[in-house]
Amino acid sequence: MPRAGDILVVLTYAMVAVVAALGFDRFGLMSTELAWLMGAVVFLIAGQVHAAAARAEERSMFEDELHQLKAANLSMLEELQIAQERIDEIAISGVDAVPAGEAPAARPDDQLVAELLARLQTGDANTAEDAAPRRSRVDAAHLVREALEANRVDLYLQPVVGLPQRRTYFYEGFTRIRESNGAVVAPGDFLAAAEEAGLITDVDNLLLLRCVQIVRRLTKADRRVGVFCNVSINSLADEDFFPAFLDFLRRNSDLAGALIFELPRAAFEARSATAARNMARLADYGFRFSIDQVSDLSLDLAELQRAGVRFLKVPGVRLIEAANGGEPIAGREPGAIRPEDIAGLFARYGVDLIAEKIESEGTVVEVLDLDIAYAQGHLFGAPRPVRDDVITEADAKLRQTG
């Protein structure tokens, strides 16, 4: 009720109290002092009744407004859910259907791919003057550019399983290039050629796009699954390209728990201040890192924790040798840590050990004795190209083991 209305009501109650007091006194029903006291009582009672009525009215209005607000919120939530489902459908399908003869509208992801291709075609791909022959760089650029333009760059996935159940918890993504005759270029030859041509950053970023697409597919079946995406330290230190790289990940930050960036130990330990800063920016969005190509366990666990490293891949055979041999582990003296306690030591710093390159059941038995949580290798599955039938098979497997 407006303040002026409240004042009028109070004045009205005051006048009623005065009239009541004068009436009691005039008709001799009580003494003058008692009459005025009764008038005051009448005023107080009237005021309390009015206040109670006003509070009841306000409570009713508040409940009505609250009901309307809840209804509006429910409607908004439904609209947001519909919008999110639509976004997921677009992300999964890759490109929206368009009428025949019309080009699809460019999406942010497509723009990133276009930028990669443009840099390849113009030669602006962090090319450095080095000792490699010019012919090898030209051949490598032609190979990569041709494969990209003809869509002959494939994503291969290899499972990473949990022990001892061997349930698939992660996949590692690898890039493979096919020549025009369908032959798959050996990883060593392809990576060496890309390094020579200065194209490894562009290839890594294309792998990232593919990994994001597959993560969205896989997490539809199981939110717990994740993908290791190999990334070059050059990508993380490229100040020209990293802003677009970071913006793309920011727009896909809902996948932070399922997308893990992997880089070699040597590159991690030799990272520049720029690369370290950019890794920290990715970690701020919740993205995690994995280190592979680890030949020994003499690592600074506190540094790994600060850098957002959550996984460490060590060849299974080498892991067993390190655990049972007389060599320092994580700054501890040789023999200071029991083999079965090594995984727990790393876990205290938030780092899970993954025994990789597992080829035999005998190695699995010895790894289990070390209480290692995860394993990877041809024994559990070789890298396979990501095609529709493979995705369908992966989805079914995840549902069966979930």
Arithmetic mean of pLDDT, 194-202: 68
Does the CA dihedral 94-100-106-111 come out positive or negative?
positive
Per DSSP, what are the bridge partners of residue 160?
170, 376
pTM for this predicted structure: 0.64
Q: What is the pLDDT of residues 57-96, one digit of tens each?
A: 666 664 555 445 444 443 443 444 444 444 444 443 433 3
Lowest-pLDDT range of 26-40, 215-229, 250-264, 380-394: 26-40
Tell me, what's the pLDDT at 42? 66
Tell me, what's the pLDDT at 1? 44
Residue 340 has pLDDT above 50, yes or no: yes
Arithmetic mean of pLDDT, 244-262: 89
Of 195 and 311, the one with more pLDDT? 311
Does the CA dihedral 210-213-214-215 come out positive or negative?
positive
Tell me, what's the pLDDT at 87? 42
Of 65 and 125, the one with more pLDDT? 65
Q: What is the pLDDT of residues 107-119, one digit of tens each?
A: 444 454 444 434 4
Per DSSP, what are the bridge partners of residue 230?
262
Helix 242-251 to helix 273-284 angle, to the nearest 10 degrees?
10
Does the CA dihedral 363-369-370-376 come out positive or negative?
positive
What does the block give as tokens for 321? 């040798």
Architecture of the domain whose range is 109-401: Alpha-Beta Barrel (3.20)
Which residue ranges does the chain devote to CATH 3.20.20.450?
109-401
